[in-house]
Structure 1
């Protein structure tokens, strides 16, 4: 199938990988690799690229699009395993402990597959070369979407490669060799300058070609236009000594952006753009390759006053309606939208550095100088291309104040930079310091959760529970019913090996998790990405104390929220499932910005200096923690409120949220002034008040047994000092019982049968009449009926009311240059807006009912084909 060239046998290469994996200590691993490279050069020449691709598969640009699940299915077919056989099950559930006494591996897919292959393979001798493997992998990369071709490839692998070779080939395909040797160690063995060169080119082939002779050196590596490089990264160490980032007594403070690190390459003479990620992935297809593109480049191409540029920054989603940046997960969705609608969410490139300009490498200049050039040659186009603002400060307290401000505004964090620093590709040094709230221990809060599920680990954690699905209690369920638990977070860090073993001892009676057949007490999304391997009944589980920085949105969990940076603190064997955090507490905590019920303190210099990256061992006995109601649950202080009426006497209210300019506290004050009582739960309240829907409100609506009344009812009752009858206009949600009552007293629009209509009430009734405007033809017929019935003369501004126009828009198949195309499209777009503004409709395809065809006078040659289209 494949022809060999002069490269060693792949079996010998696999033996090298096994030897390196078995060897302890980086230096010994390096010695074994150095000997292999020496032998290669002696026997096969200086071109080591074919082996380097397999040695560092995660740096190879080939994309196979294959993960463990797909490999399991491919091998099940190639080995002709029964779908219900033990080996097929072990392949698909490779993380779980094996169900067979003959199978020992778990947690390592390649090892599990090796055992399944070994018992069936008849191939015992290595015959395929390293070149053969690379040809096969290139073929696999090209066949990502061709299922039959993939099937043939894996059939060939099974028939030509030994089980030992297949184990290592699987690891290469998964881009994780598990040999305990980093890319920097491999580069150091290959050539002293390999690491430096790769940091500025991100190209394995170029590294192997330019440095093929180990005894020669090349000129200092430089960043090249249209060649991706490894960007400089922020140091994660908290600055105990601010002098490290000082330059002439100052440093820069920038906001850390929660986007994707992107570098933009641009050449004006050719109009060429290229976009690369931090890992050198080419994203040009997402953001555009020329000024004529319908992507981001088509909008920002006129922002650059330089012949060539390489900009470093963050790409992030931006919502122009709200004028806010969107969460990281929304970036790819916004980037794929090609509608060019200026009001829809879109990608925004936030630039914070320049490393190349007009043929000159800027990395050797100071940051202050680079920023001066950046500001002189790049023009900001807000919402599309932003220049990241920064503050120039000089003291440690300035950093503390800036972090406090970032925390209060829910920002990602800060980056502290030395203005005198040069740009070092691939480096992570103290001249750039990344500072996040989670780095500071006092900015974390704790909560108690129950473990209801777990995942088995991989690698060293194989065959043991390693991640734990934690849940909170749903307190919306009445006490006389069986409890329910909402999944909340997946816990994977913070515990020691001994604590991990204790989890295994505590969690007994584990049951396999089936997303389509969940127990009645568990609420977890069926299609969640966070899928436990096993679950445990809440009554037989354990409560854990978890530390985290904040509560964030998370639709992969049953609670609709999750913890940011959760970390295990300790077992709480003194607590049961009834003592854990509840749904209501979680919602209130999320709203108030705390987790465990305490107000978060501001950061201080002491917090920085006491920070430790690793969790210190804690004493067995801890100080008792005092708890109190969250601020959002307490309501207002009523001791100074004077009662002025008995309007709401003997009435109990739960104000969830305010609305229409009235705050929750303001509404509670009015209730108290009028003799009413307010509580902080719907369970004991007679009336539930909410101005808009929220998680809490939606949870109440879900049960469909409580009316939810708008705040305006409280306001109107207070102003009139009378109990205004409830009506649909006051309801955010009405139960079936209330709706039936309304139908007895009023019509479907809220017009009371027993009360005279006033000008105000008529307006209110009319505002309740909802008209479906999505049916365009129905709306047109209605307008015509109204006009004929009530108006003798044509309505002003509706001159095109009976017009149904087809616009002859240009297509990509038309023979015209881009400029003419854009001008004609814009001209006809304006005509379309005018027709619709004056009451007409515009259609985009030829169909019955068209009354007019609009075309440009320069395109009269299209008249005859259009006429034929209408004639059929």
Structure 2
């Protein structure tokens, strides 16, 4: 490990490892697991219950170091510089080496790889109740028998982070060409080493085995137009995308034994049962549904409520599995594939044949075991129709599948394409992000982390794990969920922009700074985040960030390997911008984010006429571009400004700064004029375009940035721009962001508006509060319709009381919406409509609304929620996830397989 660490370059490191592997195989008859376990400690399932704090305490006791000593203090505060500034900082294993080295009497290595394995196994067997004393005893033997250098690497193995510059895949590739693929189907390091001892033997088909977990095949995000990639003989399958937990069920009839594994290879048999006799666990209700000697099924586990005859939200699954009441919510397994049957692996069989077999060997049991329905379709219109149907049913989305596709464990390819509907004010796809740190809150959230910095995996880096900062979230979670965040984020360090860990990248001068970071990215939390848009930002190392992000739920079923990648972010941004450009005129919000249309060069008829000399553009043939300040911006310069700058000089300056200029306002973004003339007046009289003074261009160049327009720069101001100015300054041109004096306040006090409109608030939020909501304005940007058409005329005293109570509830909720920044509408066709609120889960009314509001071509779908959603938002002072309060229509996909 030390030799590999000191080499530079991935190929050189792999060459040395390859040489070591050859020597090992020659000497030890090819079994490499005991060494591989040390080279890939992060993949070893042994738990040691040891982090830096416990290791520090153990070493201080073994070496007899007090906290007042320099070395003892440095071991405990290993993230901080030592008092003498002569020792390492931030690398705990290196600090252990530097502390042990002058005190050690062991100079010759005597311990073998097998000795290290026995030591690790002993650490793993220590019971938690007597952890510390036994751990100290073990490390006393380590100090007496291992060299300081060996202890350095032993500590890194225990901490599961070697830092030798070789990724998991690089080590697998050195061991065997098929090792990487085999690990993806087994998630078992020992199995990989045992199966691939012979480096010359290739395994064409990665074996899926009974009672051995594997990484399931995943779908890729996409749009309806991607249905071409899943067609076979002109057709494809459409399935519903289930919002559950991915589970694989293993069953052997002769042993009457079940095993249930998650996508992370976690064994959930204790939840769902291992024997048919284990009543009332799920295994006891599905054993009689299986007609095969053995099989492995792939599907989604959901929570099912028999009283409502409907599937419950994602977060209720674990509590449902522990429920002992037969009439209460329970787990239900939704099966969509079979990968093993009667001792035969099935991945190479086409999906169509696997599904035919699935129908023969599995019988449904309503509310316990279901085969996921699917339809065979052929056109993009079919996809849009299916997506519209899913929206009406308030389901998560659809999956397109190639009928001829093989099952590829651990792969994410285009034979399965998942498509989600785009709800109002959101990206078409929620984001799975890794929480790597946080900021402490104030008020009710004081003394605890209340905002969380999220990162995406940088898949541009191939030979190490790297995360790049992407967004800060500060809303969407309840107080209980904040407590869960703080419980999970315990192994943290103080954020220092100049001493970032090797695995994390964040701009040093960013104003979006967390207070703390996790010590190890493996201790980060995977969460699902909803947002309105992905926008450009230099405050994040991803180069962009989420606009109006909010927390949806924890994804404990996923690991850091499953979060969005850098490539995913830019693909999602591109797809979102493409959709947004089609509907940019729908709302004020979308209007302000239109993509600038491409410039079209009109065809000209041949003519001998030319533009008069005063309107001809400057000759820019020999002008070199110095900066990209005005990149992609097009100017129409009518004239210059006397005594300031001439037209030709201004055009050359624009060209130098990366801009373009034309001789018409048709395609120009900015019209520049220093004085009125016939051409300027022609534009002014139309009243639709701003006419800007040349001084603005000069000031932008001097400031090296695009300055906001202000009244002092305007020769003529359109009504639209006047409205925008009112969001930045009052009608007397007094800036909201510049200091005012007592005299100026006295002069302008009478002109301060008594109320603030929604457009102004949204502008302020976009400019100053992208990461967190304006305090007390969490409904800002939302337009709610409170439905009362369900109500019937009361006839009895009891009905009149209930009717009055319902109306009072609606009245209070409406007041709360307005108070916290939202808007109300009485028009279901209002393009701003974001939420429809029902006083309760009025299923029949919900069905009517869904059918009328969700045509296939509608780009944005309003949420239909119960009134409890509004109340829960108010109680938690944040917008909570709508889907938890969705007015769902019961049992729409629990029918028999189509």
TM-score range (shorter-chain normalised) is 0.5 to 0.7
Query: How far apart, in 1, do the equivalents of 2:429 and 2:45 lie?
Result: 42
1:570 corresponds to: 537
2:230 corresponds to: 245
User: Is 2:131 the counterpart of 1:142?
Assistant: no
- State the secondary structure of the residue aligned to 2:399: strand
Shift of 1:355: 0.6
Taking structure 1 as reference, are residues 371 and 679 closer, same or farther at Cα in structure 2, changes over 3 Å only?
A: closer
- Show CA shifts across 1:568-620 (max 9, x none): 853799xxxxxxx99xx999xxxxxxxxxxxxx9998933999xxxxxx9986
User: Is 2:346 the counterpart of 1:365?
Assistant: no
Matched length: 568
Q: TM-score, normalised by structure 1?
A: 0.53
Quick one: which of 259, 265, 287 aligns to 1:301? Answer: 287
Query: How far apart, in 1, do the equivalents of 2:62 and 2:314 lie?
Result: 39
- Show CA shifts across 1:462-487 (max 9, x none): xxxx845386x87x99xxxxx99993
2:488 corresponds to: 529
Matches within 5 A, 1:155-234: 155-217=140-202, 220-234=205-219
- Show CA shifts across 1:509-557 (max 9, x none): xxxxxxxxxxxxxx98995434675599xxxx997699xxxxxxxxx99
Residue 636 of structure 1 contacts residue 665 of structure 1 at CA under 8 Å; is this kept in 2? no
Query: How far apart, in 1, do the equivalents of 2:211 and 2:485 lie?
Result: 44
Shift of 1:189: 2.0
Residue 545 of structure 1 contacts residue 572 of structure 1 at CA under 8 Å; is this kept in 2? no
Residue 48 of structure 1 contacts residue 208 of structure 1 at CA under 8 Å; is this kept in 2? yes
Residue 533 of structure 2 contacts residue 576 of structure 2 at CA under 8 Å; is this kept in 1? no
- Show CA shifts across 1:5-53 (max 9, x none): xxxxxxxxx334424xx4323x333212111111112333322221122
2:273 corresponds to: 288
Residue 318 of structure 1 contacts residue 347 of structure 1 at CA under 8 Å; is this kept in 2? yes
Residue 470 of structure 1 contacts residue 490 of structure 1 at CA under 8 Å; is this kept in 2? no
- State the secondary structure of the residue aligned to 1:386: strand
Shift of 1:251: 2.3
1:315 corresponds to: 301
Shift of 1:227: 2.6
Taking structure 1 as reference, are residues 169 and 564 closer, same or farther at Cα in structure 2, changes over 3 Å only?
A: farther
Residue 33 of structure 2 contacts residue 189 of structure 2 at CA under 8 Å; is this kept in 1? yes
Query: How far apart, in 1, do the equivalents of 2:421 and 2:867 lie?
Result: 30
2:16 corresponds to: 32
Query: How far apart, in 1, do the equivalents of 2:61 and 2:19 lie?
Result: 39
Higher RCO (C-alpha 8 Å, min separation 6): 2
1:469 corresponds to: 439
Unaligned ranges ≥5, structure 1: 1-13, 447-454, 458-465, 478-482, 504-522, 547-555, 574-580, 588-600, 611-616, 638-656, 670-676, 684-689, 704-872
- State the secondary structure of the residue aligned to 1:274: strand
- State the secondary structure of the residue aligned to 1:443: coil
Taking structure 1 as reference, are residues 340 and 216 closer, same or farther at Cα in structure 2, changes over 3 Å only?
A: same
User: Is 2:56 the counterpart of 1:50?
Assistant: no
Residue 224 of structure 2 contacts residue 383 of structure 2 at CA under 8 Å; is this kept in 1? no
Shift of 1:310: 0.7
Quick one: which of 323, 326, 329 aligns to 1:342? Answer: 326
Shift of 1:131: 0.5
- Show CA shifts across 1:56-106 (max 9, x none): 223334333434444444444444443566656655565x44364436645
- Show CA shifts across 1:731-760 (max 9, x none): xxxxxxxxxxxxxxxxxxxxxxxxxxxxxx
Quick one: which of 248, 259, 277 aligns to 1:263? Answer: 248
Query: How far apart, in 2, do the equivalents of 1:586 and 1:217 lie?
Result: 48
Taking structure 1 as reference, are residues 307 and 491 closer, same or farther at Cα in structure 2, changes over 3 Å only?
A: closer
Query: How far apart, in 2, do the equivalents of 1:269 and 1:561 lie?
Result: 41
1:857 corresponds to: none
Query: How far apart, in 1, do the equivalents of 2:154 and 2:380 lie?
Result: 52
- Show CA shifts across 1:699-720 (max 9, x none): 98899xxxxxxxxxxxxxxxxx
Task: Give the CA RMSD over aligned residues.
Answer: 5.6
Query: How far apart, in 1, do the equivalents of 2:351 and 2:780 lie?
Result: 45
- State the secondary structure of the residue aligned to 2:331: strand
Residue 256 of structure 1 contacts residue 415 of structure 1 at CA under 8 Å; is this kept in 2? yes
2:450 corresponds to: 487
Shift of 1:151: 2.8
User: Is 2:363 the counterpart of 1:379?
Assistant: yes
- Show CA shifts across 1:803-828 (max 9, x none): xxxxxxxxxxxxxxxxxxxxxxxxxx
Shift of 1:282: 3.2
Residue 66 of structure 1 contacts residue 174 of structure 1 at CA under 8 Å; is this kept in 2? yes
Taking structure 1 as reference, are residues 255 and 111 closer, same or farther at Cα in structure 2, changes over 3 Å only?
A: farther
1:651 corresponds to: none
Shift of 1:243: 1.9
1:681 corresponds to: 819
Taking structure 1 as reference, are residues 79 and 291 closer, same or farther at Cα in structure 2, changes over 3 Å only?
A: farther
Shift of 1:132: 0.4
2:402 corresponds to: 418
Query: How far apart, in 1, do the equivalents of 2:84 and 2:805 lie?
Result: 67
Matches within 5 A, 1:814-829: none
- State the secondary structure of the residue aligned to 2:537: strand
1:15 corresponds to: 2
- Show CA shifts across 1:91-137 (max 9, x none): 5565x443644366455443444444445444333211000011111
Taking structure 1 as reference, are residues 92 and 621 closer, same or farther at Cα in structure 2, changes over 3 Å only?
A: farther
Residue 232 of structure 1 contacts residue 426 of structure 1 at CA under 8 Å; is this kept in 2? yes
Residue 253 of structure 1 contacts residue 390 of structure 1 at CA under 8 Å; is this kept in 2? yes
- Show CA shifts across 1:425-464 (max 9, x none): 2333221234567999972899xxxxxxxx9x9xxxxxxx
Shift of 1:153: 1.9
Residue 545 of structure 1 contacts residue 570 of structure 1 at CA under 8 Å; is this kept in 2? no
Shift of 1:401: 6.0
1:131 corresponds to: 114
Taking structure 1 as reference, are residues 360 and 437 closer, same or farther at Cα in structure 2, changes over 3 Å only?
A: same
Query: How far apart, in 1, do the equivalents of 2:413 and 2:298 lie?
Result: 17
Query: How far apart, in 2, do the equivalents of 1:331 and 1:106 lie?
Result: 44
Quick one: which of 354, 368, 392 aligns to 2:376? Answer: 392
Taking structure 1 as reference, are residues 659 and 432 closer, same or farther at Cα in structure 2, changes over 3 Å only?
A: farther
Taking structure 1 as reference, are residues 530 and 172 closer, same or farther at Cα in structure 2, changes over 3 Å only?
A: closer
Matches within 5 A, 1:280-679: 280-294=265-279, 295-320=281-306, 325=311, 331-335=317-321, 337=322, 340-396=324-380, 398-399=382-383, 414-435=398-419, 443=427, 467-469=437-439, 487-492=450-455, 527-530=486-489, 533=493, 570=537, 606-607=578-579, 621=706, 627=760, 661-662=806-807
- State the secondary structure of the residue aligned to 1:426: coil
Matches within 5 A, 1:717-796: none
Taking structure 1 as reference, are residues 373 and 269 closer, same or farther at Cα in structure 2, changes over 3 Å only?
A: same
